[in-house]
Amino acid sequence: MPAMENQLYDVIIVGRGPVGLFLACELLLQDVSVLVVERRLAMGLGDLPETRACIVHARTQEILAARGLLPTFNKVSSKTNWWHYGILETRLQFGALDDETLENHVMFTPQSQTEEILLRRALELGVVVQLGAKVKSLDQSADEVTLRGSLIKDTNGDSIEEDFTVRGKYVVGCDGWRSSVRELAKFNWEQRDATHVMWSAEATPGVDMGPFNITKNDAGILIMCKMDVPSGRSRIACWTPSRNDLDATEPFTLEEFNQALTEITGRDNRLGNPKGLARFTNMSGYVTEYRKGRVFLGGDAAHRHLPAGGQGMNLGIQEVNNLAWKLGAVIRGEAPDTLLDTYGSERLSIAQGVVTNTTAQSLLFFAHTRPETAIRESLNKILEVPEANRKLALEISGLSHAYPAPLEMIRPEGWDALPKELSGKRAPDVKVRTTDGDEKYLHDFLKGGKWVQFVFSDRHSTGNVGVPAFVGRTEVVSVAEILGNWGGMYKGPHSQILIRPDGHFGFGKL
Ligand X SMILES: Cc1cc2nc3c(=O)[nH]c(=O)nc-3n(C[C@H](O)[C@H](O)[C@H](O)COP(=O)(O)OP(=O)(O)OC[C@H]3O[C@@H](n4cnc5c(N)ncnc54)[C@H](O)[C@@H]3O)c2cc1C
Binding site for ligand X (CB under 6 A): 14-20, 37-40, 52-55, 133-135, 174-176, 180, 200, 237, 280, 299-300, 307, 310-314, 316
Task: Give the residue with the Cβ less far from ligand X, 8 or 41.
Answer: 41
Closest distance between ligand X and the C-beta of residue 495, in Å? 39
Closest distance between ligand X and the C-beta of residue 17, in Å? 2
C-alpha closest to that of 195 among 365, 369, 373, 52? 365
From edge to edge, which strands make up the β-sheet containing 78-80?
55-56, 106-108, 78-80
Question: What sign for the dihedral angle of Cα 73, 86, 315, 342?
Answer: positive
Closest distance between ligand X and the C-beta of residue 96, in Å? 21
From edge to edge, which strands make up the β-sheet containing 189-192?
189-192, 284-287, 303-304
Query: What are the backbone dihedrals phi and psi of residue 250, each rounded to the nearest 5 degrees, phi first?
Result: -65, 125
10 Å CB burial of residue 218 (0-12, 13-18, 19+) is exposed
Task: Give the residue with the Cβ less far from ligand X, 14 or 392.
Answer: 14
Task: Give the residue with the Cβ less far from ligand X, 238 or 499.
Answer: 238
Cβ contacts of 297 within 8 Å, gap of 6 or more: 172, 173, 174, 179, 181, 182, 187, 287, 290
Closest distance between ligand X and the C-beta of residue 505, in Å? 25
C-alpha closest to that of 322 among 433, 456, 424, 216? 424
Closest distance between ligand X and the C-beta of residue 162, in Å? 15
Question: What sign for the dihedral angle of Cα 428, 430, 435, 438?
Answer: positive
Q: Length of the chain, please?
A: 510
Task: Give the residue with the Cβ less far from ligand X, 211 or 266.
Answer: 211
Task: Give the residue with the Cβ less far from ligand X, 161 or 458.
Answer: 161
Cβ contacts of 408 within 8 Å, gap of 6 or more: 417
Closest distance between ligand X and the C-beta of residue 153, in Å? 15
Closest distance between ligand X and the C-beta of residue 389, in Å? 20
Task: Give the residue with the Cβ less far from ligand X, 32 or 135.
Answer: 135
Residue 122 near residue 128, CB atoms below 8 Å: no
Task: Give the residue with the Cβ less far from ligand X, 398 or 406.
Answer: 398
